[in-house]
Every structure is written in C-alpha cells, then in structure tokens.
C-alpha cells in the first residue's frame, strides 16, 4: 500500500449552506488552520459570524482556480457543494496531493479517480453525513449484533429498512420545508428506486408511487424507496446464508405528504428539465425554511432476522432531533458526522483510497459513541 500523505493540519471547508453547522466549530477546535470558502469573502465572513467562528477561521472567496493555488500537500478539502462539483474538486486534490472529504454518495465520476488518489497516498472520504452516513453506522451496528446472535452460517431470512427524512418540526399544509436544494429534492423523485420486496428485486420508476405508511415510536409517517438499495446488501455485510425478504433504503415524510404533493407529482410526470428547475425555484420561494422555523430529522433503521426453530433477533436505531436557535437538526447531524471523519483524516487514522463513514462494525460503534457524546442523540432497541 502507498504511504499515506501526512495531514498538514490545514482544512479547506467549501460552502456554508444548510448542512454546515457546529461540526465546523469542532474542526476549528482540532485543526491548526481552517479556511472557509464561499462565493465571496464577505459571504464567507458572514457565515463565520453566524456560526460564532469569527477570528477562528479564515474567510475566502471561492473559485476552483483560487482553491488550487492555495492547496498544499496534506491539506484536507471538505466539499459542501452539490455532488456534481465533487469530481472537479477531487481532481484538483489529487494533483495537489491533498485529501478530500464530503458527505455525499460516491458518484461514478469520483469513483473513477479513487485509484489515482490511493496511489498518491490520499484519503477520499465520502458518505459521512446523515443519509448517507449515520444510517450506515446504524446498519453496520445492527448487522453485527444480529450476526453474533444468529450466526453467519445459519439459514435465516431478514428484513432491513432504513428511512430518513428532514421534516418540519411544526407541520404545515405542504407537509414539508426544504432543508436542502429544492432541485435536488425534485430530481431525486424523478430517479427510479431499486430495492428488495417479498424476496424479489423491485423497481419503482416513480418512487412516490411506492409510498406507504410507516409507524415509528407510535407516530405515523409516510415512506418511499429511493436510489438503489441493492448494492448495500453487500456493503452492510449481510451473510450469504441469510435471504432477504425486504431490503430498502428510503425517505421519510410527514403523514399527508403524498396528498399534499399531488400537483408536484403531476409536474414531475410531465415536466422537462427546464420546467422542473423553474418549479424548484417556485417551491423554494413558497415554502422556505426561515429563521423562525425549526426542522426535525427522523432516521430509523430496523433489522429483523428469523432463523430456524423460532430463533429470531430484532433491533432498531432511532434518531429524532429537532433544531434550535443555534442550528438546524440537519446541520448538526451532517456537519458533526463529517467533522468526525475529517478529524480521522487529520489524525492519520484512515487509509489511502476510498473511505465511507462506516466500513466495519467496530468503526461504526466507535463513531456512534463519539457522536452521542457530541449531542447527536439516538436510541437502540434490541429484542432477541
């Protein structure tokens, strides 16, 4: 394995949108130097003031060229920009021998650059936020506990569901407020979802059409599948002797969301890219997240395993957080998880190449312990 490029101690945090919160403050405590990049230096300074970090991080005006000129070997670049921007930033990191981190799923464009990054001794940290991120930590922990109880070689069937949603703490008529880019929310609904149901692979061309009721701790929500759940069967280390009856990762919404969004769904069926982009702007203006709004994040991951002769194991993790005046629940969950991963990069604890928040059960337990200490509260329930 190529030797790891030692971290320089400088962190470049690019973007200060809705998911940037107290995790950035945590990094300012542990990293010798933090630079925060925004569209203008003034906007970066305003973000630092909002977060109470004036004087603790350097505001910078972002362009890719300016970032390139500032990078030194061993720096850590944290991208909070939209996922399509990650590949270009990673390319600059590889050329400059700098590490890269983000909270997003691994795109093909990023994956193509991982071999070059690994060969250069660089860490590429991805899927280190809320969803993806904490959901992975929960799943790895549950799978490990079930394997200990049931046994890898035991013939068994299982159901794993993982649902996450950012929702209004006080429900509105629309049953939603945008906690991330509206166009991203709409485009996710336009993407087919692949998952396992009744023991067979299933695809929902329009994910919202697979919406169903889901009760969490006595409260009824609506959930639907998203993206491609199937690769996570292997990523989560499900034993081959266990046969999936259900395996789905999806989105959680308030009860009544499906009905409230009826007109939006009609637009999604008929609209072209230009119309959907315009619709995103209209919805963002009509249903913004304001300073007085409080968001709520609900993440529930459940695993039920049935073995022979009545042998069974069931476990679930529930995270249910509400934002406060200091930061949103979404920002807390995403930024603190990402900051935890970046601190691992600074400590030299992650190997060169591709890393996700959860690669092993042991790492998951370690990260969950630290997140709990940092105010990301959750509960574990086990019935064995």
Residue 105 has what DSSP assignment? P
> What residues have CB less than 8 Å from 222, skipping those under 6 apart?
211, 212, 213, 214, 252, 253, 254, 255, 256, 257, 258
**C-beta of residue 225 within 8 angstroms of C-beta of residue 165:** no
CATH number of 10-126: 3.40.50.720
Q: How many CB atoms lie within 10 A of CB 152?
A: 13
What's residue 177's pLDDT?
86
**C-beta of residue 121 within 8 angstroms of C-beta of residue 351:** no
pTM: 0.95
Residue ranges of the domains in the chain?
Answer: 10-126, 134-327+360-383
**C-beta of residue 182 within 8 angstroms of C-beta of residue 281:** yes
Q: Length of the chain, please?
A: 384
What's residue 1's pLDDT?
65
CATH architecture of 134-327+360-383: 2-Layer Sandwich (3.30)
> Of 79, 81, 90, 97, whose CA–CA distance to 12 is shortest?
79
> What residues have CB less than 8 Å from 1, skipping those under 6 apart?
351, 352
Q: Taking the alpha carbons of 229, 101, 128, 321 in that order, is the dihedral positive or negative?
A: negative
Q: Are strands 242-254 and 156-168 parallel, antiparallel or unpaired?
A: parallel
pLDDT tens-digit profile, the chain (384 residues)? 689 999 999 999 999 887 888 999 999 999 999 999 999 999 999 999 999 999 999 999 999 999 999 999 999 999 999 899 999 999 999 999 999 999 999 999 999 999 999 999 999 999 999 999 999 999 999 999 999 999 999 999 999 999 999 999 999 999 998 867 788 899 999 999 999 999 999 999 999 999 999 999 999 999 999 999 999 999 999 999 999 999 999 999 999 999 999 999 999 998 789 999 999 999 988 887 777 889 999 999 999 999 988 899 999 999 999 999 889 999 999 999 999 999 999 999 999 999 999 888 999 999 999 999 988 999 999 997
Distances (CA, A) of 6 to 90, 99, 106, 131: 17, 10, 24, 29
Phi, psi of 99 (to 5 degrees): -80, 160
Active site residue ranges? 131
What's residue 156's pLDDT?
95
For the chain, the first-to-last Cα distance in angstroms comes to: 41
């Amino acid at each position: 394995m190529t030797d790891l490029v030692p971290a320089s101690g400088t962190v470049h945090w690019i973007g200060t949108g809705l998911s940037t919160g107290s995790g950035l403050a945590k990094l300012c405590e542990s990293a010798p130097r933090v630079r925060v990049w925004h569209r203008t230096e003034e906007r970066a300074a305003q973000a630092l003031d909002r977060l109470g970090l004036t004087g603790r991080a350097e505001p910078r005006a972002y362009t890719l060229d300016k970032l390139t000129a500032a990078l030194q070997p061993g720096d850590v670049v944290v991208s909070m920009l939209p996922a399509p921007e990650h590949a270009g930033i990673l390319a600059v990191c590889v050329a400059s021998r700098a590490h890269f981190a983000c909270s997003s799923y691994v795109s093909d464009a990023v994956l193509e650059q991982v071999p070059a990054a690994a060969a250069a001794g660089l860490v590429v940290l991805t899927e280190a936020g809320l969803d993806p991120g904490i959901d992975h930590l929960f799943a790895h922990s549950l799978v490990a506990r079930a394997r200990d109880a049931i046994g890898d070689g035991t013939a068994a069937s299982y159901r794993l569901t993982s649902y996450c949603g950012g929702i209004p703490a006080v429900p509105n008529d629309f049953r939603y407020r945008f906690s991330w880019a509206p166009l991203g929310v709409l485009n996710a609904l336009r993407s087919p979802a692949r998952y396992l149901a009744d023991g067979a692979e299933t695809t929902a061309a329009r994910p919202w059409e697979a919406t169903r009721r889901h009760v969490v701790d006595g409260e009824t929500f609506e959930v639907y599948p998203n993206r491609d759940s199937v690769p996570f069967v292997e990523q989560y280390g499900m034993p081959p002797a266990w046969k999936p009856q259900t395996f789905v990762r999806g989105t959680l919404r308030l009860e009544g969301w499906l009905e409230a969004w009826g007109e939006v769904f009609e637009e999604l069926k008929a609209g072209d890219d230009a119309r959907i982009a315009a619709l995103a702007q209209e919805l963002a203006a009509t249903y913004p997240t304001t300073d007085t709004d409080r968001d709520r994040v609900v993440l529930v991951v459940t695993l039920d395993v049935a073995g022979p002769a009545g042998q069974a194991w069931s476990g679930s993790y529930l995270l249910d957080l509400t934002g406060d005046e200091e930061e949103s629940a979404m920002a807390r969950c995403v930024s603190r998880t990402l900051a935890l991963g970046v601190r691992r990069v600074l400590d030299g604890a992650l190997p060169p190449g591709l890393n996700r928040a959860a690669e092993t059960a042991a790492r998951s337990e370690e990260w969950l312990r630290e997140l709990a200490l940092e105010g990301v509260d959750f509960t574990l329930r086990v019935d064995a």
